[in-house]
Amino acid sequence: MKQRTPILMAIAGAALLSALWSGPALAMQPDEMLSNPKLEARARAIGKELRCLVCQNESIDDSDADLAHDLRVLVRQRLVAGDNDEQVKQYIVARYGDYVLLKPPFDSETYLLWFGPLILLVGAGTAAAFYFRRAALGGGVPPLSEEEARRLDALLGDGGPRRKED
């Protein structure tokens, strides 16, 4: 099972499971490609959205696993047979399930996934808005504590009698 994906941080940059890895190789082979460049471009785009089942997180377009090769060929055959992009993907999904879609479908099981970012954004935005509302209500002048009020009264009280004297 050969793999190829970015090393990117291997968190220890390192320590990749060496058994799984045998380094970069070419996933796509020239003989798989269609002569019609438009169809081939569509096939590449579809390939990037389908997950290689035996790999760890690669699209079939990026993987040099055997099954990925077979699926790439199949995708091209379906395109030549006249399927549109969605039909090609559904053909694979019918056999392997939603799991093969790197862009998960929008359904009841993925609502949270698709709406999550919006919820997060609105949540964080609301929290910020509350901050401003509180600031506006506070008006920058915190109410006097009992102690402060007493001292103020005392001070005003001191001034009062003198004014009376006038």
Q: Are 63 and 4 in contact (CB under 8 A)?
A: yes
Pick the closer one to other proteins by CB: 71 or 79: 71
Q: Collapse the DSSP code of 112 into the 3-class scheme (helix H, G, I; strand E, B; otherwise coil) and give the result.
A: helix
**Polymer length of the chain:** 166
CB of 59 to other proteins, least distance (A): 7
Pick the closer one to other proteins by CB: 148 or 160: 148
Q: Which two tokens stand for residue 116?
A: 């999550």
Q: Are 79 and 39 in contact (CB under 8 A)?
A: yes
Q: Are 49 and 42 in contact (CB under 8 A)?
A: no
CB of 76 to other proteins, least distance (A): 13
Q: Which of residues 14-43 bind other proteins (CB under 8 A)?
A: 14-18, 20-31, 33
Q: Rounded distance, CA 134 to CA 119, Å? A: 22
Q: Which of residues 100-129 bind other proteins (CB under 8 A)?
A: 100-104, 109-110, 112-113, 116-117, 120-121, 124-125, 127-128
Site string for other proteins, 127-156 (x = CB under 8 A): xx--xx--x--x-x--x-xxx---------
